Structure 1
Amino acid sequence: MNAEGELAPAVQSILRDVRSRTTPDERVSVDARSFSDAIARTESNGVPVVAEVKPTSPTTDGNRTDDPVELAKKMVEGGAAALSVLTEPEHFGGSPENLRRIREAVSVPVLRKDFILEEAQLDAVEADLVLLIARFVGDLSKLVASARERGFQVLVEVHTLDELETALDSGAKIVGVNNRDLGKLEVSLDTFESVAPEVPDNVTLVAESGIATPDDARRMREAGADALLVGSAIMDGDVAENTRRLVSA
């Protein structure tokens, strides 16, 4: 795990808040919807997009106050293969309750997007996939195994080739390459293009962050992305139409 001094202040603040959370008493058990099947269903008609319900974030202005369930339904209407739902409350305006309600309302797989550092934090809510960020997890192999024991599919997020090696060593079968550097919060699509060639063919590869236009979507797909995780570009405006525009890229 990197020293916090190497991280943007907003990320340092998030991690401090995560460490102070109370953890649930009961362990969850998940009957997960298949992410790979969702991608396959979408690929016959368009680009597999994981649309993100993100009320706000440290890198965006303002917040979206719509009912998150209605936003999620509109994303699915626009063709989203899966959804990503923020459960971090202080900096992203999310909650486990939002995810629970959304997962009950849609039929596509739902990813829990949060900063999970320890096993007990996995039990906050049932989801189909859970995000683990390689940079922040001390024993990634152990946490991946703990997530799978509960029935979660695991999306391991990386930003560098060293983090990719750690993810693959942990047994990750779904890898997300974050184009955003959490040290400086700068975004470059070059990041995905530099890391993607080293990802084995049997690993599902997701491009994350900085994808704003159909041209960006095509660029990431040409570089090897099986799916695209998109937040701000979908949340800013008509979420159904924004999703549809990227799925049709």
Structure 2
Amino acid sequence: MNDSEELAPAVASILRSAEARGDPDGGPLSVDARSLPAALSRAEEDGCVPVIAEVKPTSPTTDGTREADPVELAEKMVEGGAAALSVLTEPDHFEGSPENLRRVREAVDVPVLRKDFLVRESQLDTVESDVVLLIARFVDDLAGLIGAAEDRGFQPLVEVHDAAELARAVDAGAEIVGVNNRDLAKLEVDLETFETVAPEVPDDVTLVAESGIGTPDDARRMVRAGADGLLVGSAIMDGDVTENTRRLTRA
């Protein structure tokens, strides 16, 4: 679903790179996934805010690059109480790599989300992860790609931004939905986006709030609005990773 004329230039560039990226060698993967919904529920039962902490070297919306080893960062996030991790594998704009994800997943025992822009089935076979991000806006056959991911053992996290995309995701069979507070057309962030969409999410769907969560107040706000988990990147990566994670998980 390429509507790049309506996207911010940086996002349109990411999408073009994703479409042009070569397919991996080899056949379909078979993954024994760690359950993201179960991990988020355990964190909540332990009295923690369920945080999916993101290993994020850089992005088009931040300045500079974090040079620390991804495994070291991941271990510090888990030490700070992260219920799950997200690892960037997009190479051209986020300096991510499948190898980073592979190393992180081997080093930790929490679920790991592959954060990338996937637009066709073959791209699922790049690297094993527990969860894969599928951005509803960028996928033509959403039900088909969800099914292909599940056939391999992945848990698809389907990202939406508004009620129409949510309806499409639910109709396509999404069981885990992320609401991105960032508008991909303007790159503006508004936490009210999640608060507007969340009431429309079915009770049996695991709901994740994405983007713009920077403080304990933000974390509490998203949980009050119905978030089962929070995907947090820049607010954790900027400074002491363990303490930043702990500050949010103990909000």
With normalisation by structure 2, the TM-score equals 0.98
Aligned-residue offset at 1:30 = 0.3
- Structure 1 counterpart SS, 2:85: strand
Aligned-residue offset at 1:45 = 2.5
Question: Could you tell me which residue of structure 1 aligns to residue 201 of structure 2?
Answer: 199
Distance 1:190 1:230 in 2: 16
Distance 1:42 1:3 in 2: 38
- Structure 1 counterpart SS, 2:208: strand
Which structure 2 residues correspond to residues 19-30 of structure 1 after superposition, within 5 A? Answer: 19-26=19-26, 27-30=28-31
Give a deviation string over 1:67-123, Cα, whole Å, max 9, x none.
000000000000000000000011111000000000000000000000000000000
Distance 2:36 2:48 in 1: 16
Aligned-residue offset at 1:8 = 0.5
- Structure 2 counterpart SS, 1:180: coil
Which structure 2 residues correspond to residues 79-228 of structure 1 after superposition, within 5 A? Answer: 79-228=81-230
- Structure 2 counterpart SS, 1:197: helix
Question: Could you tell me which residue of structure 1 aligns to residue 7 of structure 2?
Answer: 7
Runs (4+) of structure 1 exceeding 6 A deviation are: none
Can you give the 5+ residue segments of structure 2 that lack an aligned partner in the other structure? none
Aligned-residue offset at 1:25 = 2.4
**Aligned positions, number:** 249
Distance 1:14 1:211 in 2: 23
* Structure 1 residues 2 and 191: CA distance shift in structure 2, 3 A: farther
Question: What code does the residue aligned with 2:39 have?
Answer: A
Distance 2:113 2:73 in 1: 15
With normalisation by structure 1, the TM-score equals 0.99
- Structure 2 counterpart SS, 1:182: coil
Distance 2:237 2:219 in 1: 16
Give aligned-pair identity as a percent.
73
Distance 1:190 1:2 in 2: 26
Distance 1:36 1:62 in 2: 33
Question: Could you tell me which residue of structure 1 aligns to residue 42 of structure 2?
Answer: 41
Distance 1:120 1:109 in 2: 22
Question: Could you tell me which residue of structure 2 aligns to residue 31 of structure 1?
Answer: 32
Aligned-residue offset at 1:2 = 4.8
Give a deviation string over 1:202-243, Cα, whole Å, max 9, x none.
000000000000000000000000000000000000111000
Can you give the 5+ residue segments of structure 1 that lack an aligned partner in the other structure? none
Question: Could you tell me which residue of structure 2 aligns to residue 248 of structure 1?
Answer: 250
- Structure 2 counterpart SS, 1:15: helix
Distance 2:132 2:2 in 1: 21
Question: What do you get for the CA RMSD once the two structures are aligned?
Answer: 0.7
Question: What code does the residue aligned with 1:203 have?
Answer: V
Question: What code does the residue aligned with 1:163 have?
Answer: E
Give a deviation string over 1:126-176, Cα, whole Å, max 9, x none.
000000000000010000000000000010000010000010001100000
Question: Could you tell me which residue of structure 2 aligns to residue 60 of structure 1?
Answer: 62
